[in-house]
Amino acid sequence: MNESRILLVDDQTVNLKLLKEMLANQEYTFSFAKNGKKALEVVSAARPDLILLDIMMPEMDGWEVLKRLKKDELYRDIPVIVQTVLESPEDFERGLSLGAYYYITKPIDRSILLPLVKSALEEYRNIRFLKEELEKADEVLALTEEWKLRFRTLQQATSLSKLASKVCPDPAKALVGIMELLINAVEHGIAKIDYDEKSELNLKGCWEDEVLKRLDLPENRKKFAKFLIRRDDRRISIRIEDPGPGFEWKNYLDFSIERATDSHGRGIAMANTLSFDSLEYSEQGNVVTVTIDF
């Protein structure tokens, strides 16, 4: 497997060395920049898979770097982990609103940093692969008026997200949100993995194995989630229903500072903010309906 490319951006040489040491013994190669202007130059030349970005820097601060990256179609999908001494809720909200993947405060804890980096890289690989696959999808899918089906595995959820996004006017924008909701239906609705359990499984690197194990349990083998998509002249509507007990969905509609350093937990907020014009859960939380307007 090819090494992942990571760009470390900080105006202090000692901090760059520390970050590299923290990430040592991993399958990573590194580029470095000591200000925002240089960081943009390195991004253009090296095309990193992940950026660890300091905020307080001379010439061009991290906020401006983040803003420019997310406005550029070539680089907007590259995950950015903001690392800074700023700790106010306002700074946190600013980082996430500009498109930061996660937000980590200094001094950086290696036990927090490593899972974040791994999670960000895995998500970037998945999204990049799926967006490349979108170009190969049959364009006749855009003619869809209505179709429904059932699914129960992570692989099926991923394949379905690719097909469903092709029905949408902006497939790349819809893809991430649809995939997050479908995977949530499998991992939580069928496999019954809750938030804390997923945190532990991610830390151990065995989340996917545990999902597969639970799906194969006798009580889960005949459980399916349902998917329905409708399209008319005004909008696309997608309804996903899982067989689980539901969850406290209201806690996950927006980005939360309490979960800023967790290795997951941003999918629903990301879908709500970036992918759809509306997102509504049933009171129980096992049915979600989203719309995309034309």
Q: Where are the domains of the chain?
A: 4-129, 137-293
The model carries a pTM of 0.76
Using a 10 angstrom Cβ sphere, with 0-12 exposed, 13-18 middle and 19 or more buried, the burial of residue 126 is: middle
Query: Is the Cβ–Cβ distance between 168 and 271 less than 8 Å?
Result: no
Tokens read off for 99: 């498109």
Residue 260's pLDDT is 66
In 3-state terms, what secondary structure has residue 179? helix
**Bridging pattern class, strands 28-33 and 287-293:** unpaired
Fold of the domain built from segment(s) 137-293: Heat Shock Protein 90 (3.30.565)
Residue 140's pLDDT is 66
H-assigned helices in the chain: 13-22, 36-46, 62-71, 89-97, 110-134, 154-167, 171-184, 195-204, 207-215, 267-270
Per-residue pLDDT of the chain (294 residues), as tens digits, is 578 999 999 999 999 999 999 998 778 999 999 999 999 999 999 999 999 999 888 889 889 999 999 888 888 889 999 887 766 767 777 777 777 768 787 888 888 888 889 888 988 888 887 777 766 656 667 677 899 999 999 999 998 998 898 888 888 889 889 999 999 999 999 999 999 999 889 888 899 999 999 999 999 999 999 999 999 889 999 999 999 999 999 988 877 767 766 767 778 887 888 889 999 999 999 999 999 998
107 cis-preceded (ω within 30 degrees of 0)? yes
Question: Do 4-129 and 137-293 come out as alike in CATH topology?
Answer: no
Residue 139's pLDDT is 63
Residue 18's pLDDT is 93
Rounded to 10 degrees, the C-alpha dihedral 180/183/185/189 comes to -130
**Does the domain made of 4-129 have the CATH classification 3.40.50.2300?**
yes
